[in-house]
């Protein structure tokens, strides 16, 4: 794989979005795989959400929005069981 440095702000934003989608896919698949063998994992993850927070500053920070996204992922994984 050839790494290219994005040249414009737009390219960097697109690159970051693509990386985020790839990481999300891989992580979700990994959690799905482990949770099929260890269903208690989803309970542990669900119980840890109080410690999840948004790293943004000022008005952009919304801890509950970040937790809500995580809850939806966990709910989706539970529905697959």
- The pLDDT score that the predictor gives to residue 7 is 80
Cα angle at 11 between 7 and 13, to 5 degrees?
130
Cα atoms in the Cβ-side hemisphere of radius 13 Å centred on 33: 6
| Cβ atoms of residues 6 and 14 within 8 Å | yes
Give a yes or no: residue 75 inside a domain.
yes
- The pLDDT score that the predictor gives to residue 2 is 60
Which pLDDT band holds residue 81 (cuts at 50, 70, 90)? confident
Mean of the pLDDT values across residues 65-72?
96
Give a yes or no: residue 23 inside a domain.
yes
Give a yes or no: residue 1 inside a domain.
no
For the chain, the domain total comes to 1
| Cβ atoms of residues 36 and 81 within 8 Å | yes
Give a yes or no: residue 53 inside a domain.
yes
Task: For the chain, list the strands marked E by DSSP.
Answer: none
Phi, psi (degrees; rounded to nearest 5) at 55: -80, -5
Does residue 45 register a pLDDT over 70?
yes
Give a yes or no: residue 4 inside a domain.
no
Kindly report the number of other CB atoms within 10 A of residue 70's CB atom: 14
- Which domain does 46 fall in, by range? 9-80
Using one digit for the tens of pLDDT, what is the confidence trace for 3-16? 677 789 899 999 99
């Amino acid at each position: 794989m050839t790494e290219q440095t994005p040249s414009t702000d737009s390219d960097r934003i697109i690159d970051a979005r693509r990386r985020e989608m790839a990481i999300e896919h891989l992580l979700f698949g990994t959690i799905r795989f482990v949770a099929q063998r260890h269903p208690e994992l989803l309970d542990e993850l669900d119980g840890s959400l109080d410690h999840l927070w948004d790293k943004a500053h000022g008005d952009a920070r919304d801890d509950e929005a970040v937790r809500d996204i995580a809850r939806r992922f966990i709910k989706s994984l539970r529905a697959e069981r």
